[in-house]
Structure 1
Amino acid sequence: MFDTMDTLHSKWRFLEAAQGCGAVVPESACVDTLEQARSWAGTDPVVLKPEYSRFGVHVRLHPNGIPADAKPFDVPGRWVVQRFCHGRELCSYSVIDRGRLLAHVTYRPSYRLQASSSFFFEACPSPAIQKFVDMFARKMDYTGQLSFDWIEADNGNAQVLECNPRAISGVHLFGLDDALPAALAGAATDCVVPANHAARMISAVMLVAGGAQALRDSRVGLWWQDFRRGVDVIAAPRDPLPFFGGLLDFGSYARLAVQNRCNLRQAATCDIEWDGDPLAAL
């Protein structure tokens, strides 16, 4: 079990496992130093990321190639250098039971925290991505929740970037009438997909972080339209208190970020991270 989780968490081992499942796997290499990455990439556009990372922390995007003044790697361990993929960012969330795809949604992360976790998301069905997940789940004989990050190229090809073997924001796109609980229990007979494609959001974060982004990018009008049409995934229509709880959570992460001298993304995951450290057998 731990070996499977390591394969999926590892940005390098996952790419090897994803071969032959129907999606484009970007050309990549595993390196120890920036010099090795530069030697492999030349002047080509690339992405650099630690083998174990989450929410885009420490990821370096170099759409014009690795600059001459790039800093050496500041996180110990192996790094992955990957060809930069141009296109539309997508994510997928699925529930698997013994290799059977029981629930699935592909969505667009329209608003994100510093190019990482999203807080406004819209369903964006993709038969190609669903086919990959089905094939990959069978190949791995996997059981659990399984999520992927994607780039959809201009020609429509789906390029799989990395795997997150856990729940992500896509779970919010399932409604009360969708049979997601049956899928999680392994009892669904068909693959469950969201019946309603309404945009969903974490309204407290959309208000604070999304509003700040809109002001910075001069897109206040579009942000306000999206804020009004998005359905909050925290508060219920007659119970607004969870919205204010979300603001308190945001404040708590900000306090942790100041205390630990890190950014909000790191503060939000500091108590749940696993970077491939050896685990004792159960």
Structure 2
Amino acid sequence: MANILLTGGRAPVTLDLARVFRRAGHTVFMAESLRGHLSQPSNAIKANFLVPAPRQEKEAFLIALKKIVAENQIDLLIPTCEEIFHMAMAHDELPLFAEPIKKLKQFHNKWEFVVHAVDNDLHVPETILVQNQEDLLHAYAQWRGLVLKPVYSRFASRTLILPTLQKASSSLTFSARQPWVAQQYIEGQAFCTYSVCHNGRITAHTTYPSRFTAGRGATIVFRHVEHSAIFNWVKSFVGQNKFTGQIAFDFIQTPDGQLFALECNPRATSGVHLLASHPRFAESFSNPFMDCITPTGDRSYMLSAAMLLYGLPAALRHGGFRDWVKTYFSSDDVILDFKDPLPAVMQLRSVLATRAIAKRENISLLEASTFDIEWNGEG
């Protein structure tokens, strides 16, 4: 049995991972920069450590992590959120289940990911790097409908879908360090994936459609589907890049079956929830030679608070209330666990802590959830 250190305890996926590793007999520790985070009261965690904010205090954050690793004889350090990019800068000094920053940056940066995929003969939408007004005009001359997003962003919080040229011109702020990408708009069904990988081999994988979301980006209801074309795309990408760690992709499939990868998240995502009940999921992080596992059963899982806060208003606006009711009452909440009840009982504390950041920084709740950990190419 191993000593496992997780970071990103604010995220429901991290709570689920803590429970997974504890059920498998491992000892779980948690390091977080958000006070009162979601996972803090979980009985799956032996000890919680409050660490400096990686975005604002990177050096102090890394020093704190190294101390926790040494003093608690940590065997494996698993990042889950965007703190991974700050940790990857000290890759050789930590027992990190992740790639070095040079490789992670290629996939996290939305322009570099597209270039990389094209070089590997993998399908992505036609894309233009937008660094100034001239590039923007070129994109609008190229396509009637397009999507604009910063090369570094999350939850689609700043994504513009089918904007007019006037709206785009007034919304975009250009800088050399923070360019945008323009992509041809593609109509179709959205899918997300999540995989655990070792040197190009996939040991755990799930694909799930994106139907209910928080805002435009983060999926909040999860049900595994078998999709061989998507799995083969991921398998090819992971294999060609000899990737180790957790990795996720967003896809769009057109009505005639064409498949395009929109972007990559080289970290944990909500696919964890679909694999958490598999008896060998914990093993997939430590056994690079095991066969790839996929979720068992046909259960639907959800973030119930997000379904109420985001899913219900969207359903009422767009005439999907009946579908929302059916989904809500047939899905299991990923936070509620009667053997570990306190995270669900006390989750409002984490929401209030995030809300305080949102108010202080004058940003949205989603943006506040990553304010102290996100990475936008710095350093």
Equivalent-residue separation in structure 2 for 1:180 and 1:256 (angstroms): 34
- 1:209-267 deviation digits (Å, cap 9, x = unpaired): 32333333343332222111011111114554432333333333233222211112211
Question: Structure 2 unaligned runs (5+)?
Answer: 1-99
> Superposition pairs for residues 129-278 of structure 1, below 5 Å?
129-187=230-288, 189-237=290-338, 240-278=341-379
* CA deviation profile, 1:172-218 (whole Å, cap 9, x unmatched): 01142341111111345111100122110112222333233333334
- Displacement after TM superposition at 1:50 (Å): 1.1
Is 1:60 aligned with 2:160? yes
Q: Do 2:140 and 2:146's aligned partners in 1 also have CA atoms closer than 8 Å?
A: yes
1:50 alignment partner in structure 2: 150
SS at match of 1:234: coil
**Are positions 1:73 and 2:150 aligned together?**
no
Distance 2:211 2:359 in 1: 27
Paired residues of 2:157 and 2:216 also in contact (CA < 8 A): no
Change (3 A) 1:145 1:90: same
Matched residue, 1:36: 135
Task: Give the deviation of 1:19 after TM superposition.
Answer: 2.4
Q: Note if contact 1:149-1:163 (Cα within 8 Å) is conserved in structure 2.
A: yes
How high is the TM-score relative to the length of structure 1?
0.90
**Cα 1:243–1:211, aligned 2, differ >3 Å: closer, same or farther?**
farther
Between the aligned partners of 1:100 and 1:187, the Cα distance in structure 2 is 7
Runs of 4+ in 1 over 6 A off after TM superposition: none
Equivalence for 1:109: 210
- What amino acid maps onto 2:361 in structure 1? N
Match of 1:57, as an amino acid? S
- Aligned residue in 1 for 2:113: 14
Task: Quote the residue 2:3 is aligned against.
Answer: none
Q: Between Structure 1 and Structure 2, how many residues are aligned?
A: 276
Secondary structure, in 3 states, of the residue corresponding to 1:200?
strand
Q: Structure 2 length normalisation: TM-score?
A: 0.68
**Aligned partner letter, 2:226:** P
Quote the residue 2:57 is aligned against: none
SS at match of 1:195: coil
RMSD between aligned alpha carbons?
2.0
Q: 1:75 to 1:186 in 2, by over 3 A?
A: farther
Distance 1:210 1:31 in 2: 32
Cα offset, 1:131, TM superposition: 0.6
Q: Classify the secondary structure of the residue corresponding to 2:223.
A: strand
Do 2:155 and 2:215's aligned partners in 1 also have CA atoms closer than 8 Å? Answer: no
What is the percent sequence identity of the aligned residues?
A: 32
2:373 aligned counterpart, secondary structure: coil
CA separation of 1:186 and 1:18: change in aligned 2, threshold 3 A: farther
Q: Secondary structure of 2:310's match?
A: helix
What displacement does 1:92 show? 0.5
Q: Distance in 2 between matches of 1:247 and 1:222?
A: 26
Secondary structure of residue in 1 paired with 2:348 = helix
Moved more, 23-32 or 175-184: 175-184
Residues 215 and 310 in structure 2, CA contact (< 8 A), matched pair in contact too: no
Amino acid across the alignment from 2:332: V
Q: Evaluate the alpha carbon distance shift between residue 72 and residue 229 of structure 1 in structure 2; reply closer, same or farther with a 3 A threshold.
A: closer
